[in-house]
Homo-oligomer: A and B are copies of this chain.
Amino acid sequence: MNYKMSILIRTDLKMGRGKMVAQGAHAAVGAVLESIKRNPEWLEQWETAGAAKIALRVDSIEELMQMVQKARSLGMTSFIVTDMGLTQVEPGTVTAAAIGPAPENLVDQVTGKLRLL
């Protein structure tokens, strides 16, 4: 079975690519640390198989939250990044999220129709 993590980045905010990289990294690290506590088996399988990640775009906070809620309802780890707003965005802005690591078919049930970032 293949495992992966989806990284969702909001494209409706005025974030440059450096900001996107930092926010995406924050999401991925958060999901990994959460997985250590909640789902270490999937984390280990994912790491062993190369730790596949894909960066996808969401166009609104609503779309991002829908994805996260669906992931949680399917038993997957997720992590939402809320930025402190020191640069580029307002304080408290949700900028990114990560879903997984989890079996690929499960992740695709949630994020399979999103476009590549």
Contact = CB atoms under 8 A, between A and B. Distances in A.
Interface in A22-65: 22, 24-30, 32-33, 47, 50-51, 53-57
A51 B22 contact: no
Most chain B Cβ neighbours within 10 Å, of A18, A20, A33, A57: A18
A9 B32 contact: no
A55 B7 CA distance: 16
A117 interface: yes
Interface residues of A, number: 31
Nearest to A98: B25
B55 A26 contact: no
B20 A116 contact: no
